[in-house]
Chain A
Amino acid sequence: MGENNTEGGNLAQVQHVVLVLSGKGGVGKSTLTTELALALRHAGKKVGILDVDLCGPSIPRMLSVGRPDVHQCDGGWVPVYTDASKGLALMSIGFLLENPDDAVVWRGPKKNALIGQFVSDVAWGELDVLLVDTPPGTSDEHLAVVENLRKHRVDGAVLVTTPQAVSTGDVRREITFCRKVGVPILGIVENMSGFVCPHCSECSNIFSKGGGEELAKITGTPFLGCVPLDPLLSSSLEEGGDFMKTFPESAAFNAITNICRTLLETLQAA
């Protein structure tokens, strides 16, 4: 491990590798991964996203890259770039499916083989940060990702939760997972934290409030911040727009920008 690893292969020029994890599904891992990537790019960083959610890859849609053909070069699979500046590179299982409605009905061993390839065979080139978006849980994909990335480096994991106890309960288990496999926790993000009614500005805590921050306190992990529920953010993701560019005045925008800044500081301090 370490930056001076000369055998890092395709990850040799990747400065930082960050996993986005959550024990719970649907808490916004892919959303946060996408928005963090966009925020990092606005901060002038070169960013890559590796989407290892084999059964439900959402990132291609969120970045509206469609279903491009993935090409091979000498160095491996060429990631898909969101624009000509090549500031944001993406590799997802979604690109390899023939039919977008196809279910990837695979058991563990087959998934592990693909993840091994994913991690080692993508020609990322130079990147400041590689974000790895994972499926929910603590199972095959997670072990495979950690095992394969560890050969190079893993800076740590950002854990995403929603405020309710049902969700933080699952994320507690994810913290245990990180400790067991030796992945440092960079911090916890509380997503879907409150909803401000656009009609009367009354804030409703649809999924309760404060659970993420409390979890961070109990488990002694850094708290990165809250991201409120924001219909603008959901529709922007549906349309694959760049929320970070389109809605700079929204509350979610500020929250994500702050989280991005804290994350960068943590990475650079390490």
Chain B
Amino acid sequence: MSDVPSNAPEHCPGTSSEKAGKGSACQGCPNQKLCASGATKAPDPAIAEIAEKMLTVKHKILVLSGKGGVGKSTFSAHLAHALASDTTKEVALLDVDICGPSIPRIMGLEGEQVHQSGSGWSPVYVEENLAVMSIGFLLSSPDDAVIWRGPKKNGMIKQFLRDVDWGDLDYLIVDTPPGTSDEHLSIVQYLSSASIDGAVIITTPQEVSLQDVRKEIRFCQKVKLPIIGVVENMSGFVCPNCKNTSQIFPPTTGGAERMCKELGLPLLGKVPLDPRIGRSCDEGKSFLNEVPDSPAAQAYNSIVQSIQDFCSNHITEEQSVG
């Protein structure tokens, strides 16, 4: 997981590697002197700052998927709503999808701006106990494109973790962009000393999606990120007219169920397709409040319960170890 500066030569060994500044590839690199001095091998001071900031955050949950458009943001938003429905809990939702921030719209916060205070950036509040932070709040128009390369995105994520005035939190949910790239490496790296409870992995039933998700699972294993479980989203569609179920995204290879069995991971649940979910997201409302007795809402609630159980077990384990 070495860091390669954007102006480094192609075979850069990475600034934190043993060979930094000494390898043959380092000849002529503008960073050679700095690397050779050993300064770059020290961990980023921000990691310790973030760890300190995160001391007041009890649980940190990442929502991941190798594939785009499977429902990460929808899930993150509804997980946040569901956790915050217990008014004694403080919940925050951080959107690190720098290029495609959907959270402001899904949470009904489009057009909101972030305010600067003495203790950092103030997040935007949906409810008294539900805070949201997204790059969407920093853009001046909905047409604004964030055309940033990796290092700049990482800087933003660092700021989100270090400089936002989160306050005391029971849950911090982090919604990520698809893939296994800069944003993911950064969030894991920056939270490395702050102990992440684990990741919830979202997939749809088709193999085309599962093959990307298997990569994400490898990624978690590579960076030693615990996996809370897998959610199969868009799992079948019940026609509102004739009540027959159609597999719009058919699980030709056994879906998430078989993948979980093969990889020894818990399947947290299956959420069916429901046009009302998309509509609630577009309107910035919680689907769980809009149609609480729908099968999709029930599936959501049982998944949220499993995640809560995982987190409280996580605490007891930590206490018994420590």
Which positions in A face B, CB cutoff 8 Å?
23-27, 30, 55-56, 58, 61-62, 100-111, 113, 135-140, 142-143, 162, 164-167, 169-170, 172-177, 180-181, 195, 197-200, 202, 204-208, 229, 231, 234-235, 237-239
A108 touches B246 (CB 8 A): no
Contact B105 A169 (CB under 8 A): yes
Question: CA–CA, A39 to B27, complex, Å?
Answer: 50
Across the interface, B237 reaches (CB within 8 A) one of A109, A169, A206, namely A206
B215-A55 in contact (CB<8A) = yes
CA distance A137 to B148 in the complex (A): 10
A-B contact pairs, 15 of them (CB 8 A): A23-B99, A56-B68, A56-B179, A104-B180, A107-B150, A107-B185, A113-B10, A137-B99, A140-B150, A176-B144, A199-B242, A204-B237, A207-B278, A231-B246, A237-B206
| Alpha-carbon distance between A138 and B66 when the two chains are bound, in angstroms | 17
On whether the beta carbons of B69 and A26 are closer than 8 Å, the reply is: yes
* B150 and A135 within 8 A (CB): no
Is B134 part of the contact surface with A, judged by Cβ < 8 Å? no
B286 lies within 8 A of chain A by Cβ: no
Contact: A105 with B241, CB < 8 Å?
no
What residues of chain B have their CB less than 8 Å away from a CB belonging to chain A?
1, 3-6, 8, 10, 12, 66-70, 73, 98-100, 102, 105-106, 142-151, 153, 177-182, 184-185, 204, 206-209, 211-212, 214-219, 222, 237, 239-242, 244, 246-250, 252-253, 273-275, 278-279, 281-282
With beta carbons under 8 angstroms apart, the residue of A136, A166, A172, A238 that contacts B208 is A238
Task: Decide: B273 and A206 in contact? CB cutoff 8 A.
Answer: yes
Contact status A58-B144, CB under 8 Å? no
How distant is the Cα of A77 from the Cα of B244 in the complex, in angstroms? Answer: 49
Kindly state the separation between the CA atoms of A165 and B68 in the bound complex, as whole angstroms: 16
Select which of B219, B239, B278 is within 8 A of A105 by beta carbon.
B219
Contact present for B208 and A135 (CB under 8 Å): no
Contact A27 B69 (CB under 8 A): yes
Nearest Cβ on chain A to B182's Cβ, whole angstroms: 5
A218: nearest chain-B partner, CB-CB: B143
Residues of B within 8 A of A100 (CB): 211, 214
Residue of B147, B153, B185 most packed against chain A (CB within 10 A): B147
Q: Once the chains bind, are A25 and B67 in contact (CB under 8 Å)? A: yes
**In the assembled complex, which residues on chain A have CB atoms less than 8 Å from the CB atom of B246?**
195, 197-199, 231
* Contact in complex: B73, A166 (CB < 8 Å): yes
Closest Cβ–Cβ distance, residue B200 to chain A (whole Å): 17
| Whole-angstrom distance between the Cβ of A142 and the nearest chain B Cβ | 8
| Bound form: Cα–Cα A195–B242 in Å | 14
Q: B153 near A139 (CB under 8 angstroms)?
A: yes
Report the minimum CB–CB distance from B244 to chain A (whole Å): 4
Give, as a whole number of angstroms, the nearest-CB distance from B234 to chain A: 9
Bound complex: CA of A206 vs CA of B74, how far in Å?
Answer: 14
| B147 lies within 8 A of A238 (CB) | no
Which residue on chain A has the smallest CB distance to residue B100? A170
Q: Are B250 and A199 in contact (CB under 8 A)?
A: no
The distance from the CB of B215 to the nearest CB of chain A, in whole angstroms, is 4
Q: Considering the complex, give the chain B residue whose CB is closest to the CB of A200.
A: B242
Q: Complex: how many Å from CA A170 to CA B73?
A: 13
Q: For residue B2, which residue of chain A has the nearest CB? A: A107
With A169-B142, A235-B252 in contact, is A200–B219 under 8 Å at CB?
A: no
B106:A166 contact, CB within 8 angstroms? yes
Task: Answer whether A169 and B102 are a contact pair too, CB < 8 Å, given A109-B150, A140-B150, A231-B246.
Answer: yes
Contact status A238-B6, CB under 8 Å: no
Separation in Å of the A117 CB from the closest CB of chain B? 10
Contact A197-B239, Cβ < 8 Å, known A110-B4, A235-B252:
yes
- Chain B nearest Cβ from A93, distance in angstroms: 12
Please report the C-alpha to C-alpha distance between residue A249 and residue B38 in the assembled complex, in whole angstroms. Answer: 66
CB nearest neighbor in A for B275: A206
Bound-complex Cα distance A261 to B226 (A): 49
Given A105-B180, A164-B281: A56 in contact with B102 (beta carbons within 8 A):
no
The interface residues of chain A lying within 8 Å CB-to-CB of B67 are 25-26, 56
Tell me the minimal C-beta distance from B123 to chain A in angstroms: 20
Interchain CA distance A239-B207 in the complex, whole Å: 9
- Residue from A56, A204, A235 within 8 A of B215 (CB atoms): A56
Q: Kindly list chain B residues whose C-beta atoms are within 8 Å of the C-beta of A173.
A: 99-100, 142-146
- B69 contacts A62, CB within 8 Å? no
Q: Is the CB of A105 within 8 A of B222?
A: yes
Check B250–A135 contact: CB distance below 8 A.
no
3 pairs of A and B residues whose beta carbons are closest in the complex: A25-B68, A26-B69, A108-B150
Task: Tell me the smallest distance from the CB of B188 to a CB of chain A, in Å.
Answer: 10
How close is B55's CB to chain A, nearest CB, in angstroms? 28
Q: Are B73 and A55 in contact (CB under 8 A)?
A: no
Most buried by A among B73, B142, B209: B142
Cβ-defined contact, A164 with B149, below 8 A: no
B149 touches A108 (CB 8 A): yes
Contact residues in A for B8 (Cβ distance below 8 Å): 109
Contact residues in A for B244 (Cβ distance below 8 Å): 197, 199-200
Q: In the docked arrangement, what's the CA distance between A136 and B204, Å?
A: 17
